[in-house]
Amino acid sequence: MLTSIPAVAVLSPWRTLAAKVLDGSDVSKTEALAILNSSDEELLDLVNAAFEIRKRNFGKTVQLYFLMNAKSGLCPEDCHYCSQSKISDAPIPKYNILSRDKLLEGAKLAAQRQSKTYCIVISGRAPNEREIQAIEKIVPEIKQTYGLNICACLGLLNESQAQRLAAAGVDKVNHNLNTSQEYYPEICTTHTFEDRIETLKNVRKAGLALCSGGIIGMGESRQDIVEMAFSLKELSVESIPLNFLHAIDGTPMQQKEYLSARDCIRALAMFRFVNPASELRIAGGRERHLRSLQPLGLMIANSIFIGDYLTTQGQAPSEDYRMIEDLGFEITGQAALPNSSESTCSESTCSESTCSQTTCTQTGGTGSSGNQCQTPSSSDPTRSSCCG
Ligand code: SF4
């Protein structure tokens, strides 16, 4: 005969810490480090606690971002993780800023994929005048046509450049801190952590939202990861993309992959606890490092990139839509297409690899037409991470 199960009044340490965050208190660096040091046995408790914080701030919503690699390679900097740097031998395409038509084509695909935000990214230390002008010209057109939010990732920015981007209608600027101040010289010698902070301050002064995150798995210590999370907190960054190093042959970090999927979950949880109200995006390396634990990651983070990354290939969008649906989550804030009759593929069997429709949304089944999909790709699969 079944007897009633006694109520358990004691919360796990992670639920207790989440309750503290939900009450408006900050976690300490010691507590943040304890999250990264927690055991595999505690993992589900940790996810559950981080989910409470996610739920309070973002409910069950997921925001999709779409990346457009608007200029590739040709960079004089030496970021050791990046295939576009001057010290990388990775065989990557090199091109200058894309034409208006290509940028618009990407925006259309972003809208079709239910993205809220279109990220325009160029390689390089800082934008030149021609590049700033190109952004000033295209942003109003994209916003008017597709209603997308625009995030610009253009490298180091001075105050005047940031103000020009704001005047053009850019919503947010991405410039990642990437790691801690102390570890930064180990990943780049041609610019400094302080240079990056200054850019973020210039962006803030111009009234723009900040998108800034980092890369985990570059040989940094757990303390470095904590320091980065707290630097982002100090800057009140609205949006945090967290990348997991996808080591690319030809870069100085080509041998550096050591993260487990559980390490990635712990890192996401720590960022959620330290920056509870910031949008947290699982960025590059999601599929490669989280693998079958991606849904656990999305219970902590509230945003992902849909489709390919700047420099590496993502999983098919249909798999992401399926994961979101299976979790009982919903995509939020997606842009409206100007002409809905052109917005979706009419093929019920459409798939990314076989659809013949130029307006393919790539959400469908197995495909049967045998034709190659005509939709443009946001990135080349052989390239590695960028400016961010
Ligand atoms: S991350 Fe950006 S600045 Fe650094 S090498 Fe790559 S493209 Fe250049």
Task: Choose between 308 and 250: higher pLDDT.
Answer: 250
Instruction: Look at residue 362 in the predicted model and tell me its pLDDT.
Output: 37
Q: Which two tokens stand for residue 212?
A: 């800034």
For the ranges 259-263, 274-278, 337-341, the lowest mean pLDDT is seen at 337-341
The residues assigned a catalytic role are 75, 79, 82, 119, 151, 211, 281
Q: How far is the CA of 96 from the centre of ligand 1 (A)?
A: 14
Q: Which of 67, 79, 86, 88 to mutate to test the pocket of ligand 1 (most atoms within 8 A of CB)?
A: 79
Q: How far is Cα 164 from Cα 184, in angstroms, rounded to an integer?
A: 29
For the ranges 5-19, 139-153, 168-182, 294-308, the lowest mean pLDDT is seen at 5-19
CATH T-level topology, domain 55-331: TIM Barrel (3.20.20)
Q: Which of 83, 85, 87, 173 to mutate to test the pocket of ligand 1 (most atoms within 8 A of CB)?
A: 85
Q: Which of 77, 95, 383 to mutate to test the pocket of ligand 1 (most atoms within 8 A of CB)?
A: 77
Residues 367 and 353: beta-carbon distance below 8 Å: yes
CB half-sphere exposure, 330, CA atoms < 13 A: 3
Residues 82-140: tens digit of each pLDDT: 999 999 999 888 999 999 999 999 999 999 999 999 999 999 999 999 999 999 999 99
What residues are in contact with ligand 1 under a 6 Å CB criterion? 75, 77, 79, 82, 84-85, 123-125, 155, 386-387
3-class secondary structure, 151? strand
**pLDDT band (50, 70, 90) for residue 160:** very high
Residue 315 phi/psi, 5° resolution? Answer: -80, 170
Q: How far is the CA of 107 from the centre of ligand 1 (A)?
A: 23
Residues 213 and 225: beta-carbon distance below 8 Å: no
Q: How far is the CA of 113 from the centre of ligand 1 (A)?
A: 27
Instruction: Look at residue 256 in the predicted model and tell me its pLDDT.
Output: 78
Where along the chain do its domains lie? 55-331
Residues 307-336: tens digit of each pLDDT: 777 667 788 999 999 999 999 999 998 765
Instruction: Look at residue 216 in the predicted model and tell me its pLDDT.
Output: 97
Classify the phi-psi angles of 247: left when phi > 0, otherwise alpha if psi is within -120 to 50, otherwise beta.
beta
Nearest to 248 by CA among 89, 75, 122, 72: 89
- Point out the ligand 1 atom lying closest to the alpha carbon of residue 188: 4
Q: How far is Cα 285 from Cα 282, in angstroms, rounded to an integer?
A: 8
Residue 72 phi/psi, 5° resolution? Answer: -125, 140
